[in-house]
Amino acid sequence: MTRTLPVVNEDEVLFWKGGADGKLHFPQCRQCQYIVHPPAPVCPQCYGRELGETTVSGEGTVATFTINYQPWVPDMQVPFTIAIVALNEQDDLRLMTNIVNIPPEKVEIGMRVSVVFEVCDEDIYLPLFEPMKVSV
C-alpha cells in the first residue's frame, strides 16, 4: 500500500521507531504511572515532568472504525479500515490506526486486536492491528 509517512518530531521517535523490537513504546509518568500519548512534555494527569518509558502488550479493542473506499492518492488500495483501538493497559490510551489481515466488512466494534508493525522507509515502524489469534 502507498502510504504518506509521518514527519517524526523529536518527541515522537520513541513511538514511530520503537517498533523495531516488535513492541509499542510510550512515555510513562514516573510519578503517577500514567501512559502519555500523544507525546507531551509533561504528564497531563499530574503535571509531573519526569517521564520514563514503558512498553505495552500491543493488545486492545476496536473502539470505533470506518471504512475508506476513496483512493485519495494514486496506487492507494481500497477499501481499508481506519480504526481507533483502545489498548488494554489504559482506557484512554487510544491509537488511530488501520485494521489489517481481515476484510473491512468483517471488522466489528469490540473486536479484540493485536499490533503488527509495517516497516516503512526512514526506519518508521507503523503500528497496525489485526484480529487477535485465538489460542485453543
Site string for Zn ion, 35-54 (x = CB under 5 A): --------x-xx-x------
Please check whether residue 19 is in contact with residue 26, taking contact to mean a CB–CB distance below 8 angstroms. no
For residue 44, the minimal CB distance to Zn ion (Å) is 8
- The nearer residue to Zn ion, 31 or 88, going by C-beta atoms, is 31
Name the residue nearer to Zn ion (CB basis): 31 or 114.
31
Any idea of the CA torsion for 4, 5, 8, 13, to the nearest 10 degrees? 150
Dump the DSSP string for 28-57.
Answer: EETTT--B--S--SS-TTT----EEEEEE-
Give the three cell numbers for residue 77. Answer: 488500495
Q: Which of 107, 114, 67 is nearest to 88 (CA)?
A: 114
Nearer to Zn ion, 56 or 99 (CB): 56
CB of 56 to Zn ion, least distance (A): 17
- Residues within window 53-72 making contact with Zn ion, judged by CB under 5 A: none
| Shortest distance, position 46 Cβ to Zn ion, whole Å | 3
Q: Does 34 bind Zn ion (CB under 5 A)?
A: yes
Closest distance to Zn ion from the beta carbon of 29 (Å): 3
Pairwise CA distance, residues 136 & 127, whole Å: 26
Tell me the Cα Rg of the chain: 16
Residues in contact with Zn ion by the rule CB under 5 A? 29, 31-32, 34, 43, 45-46, 48
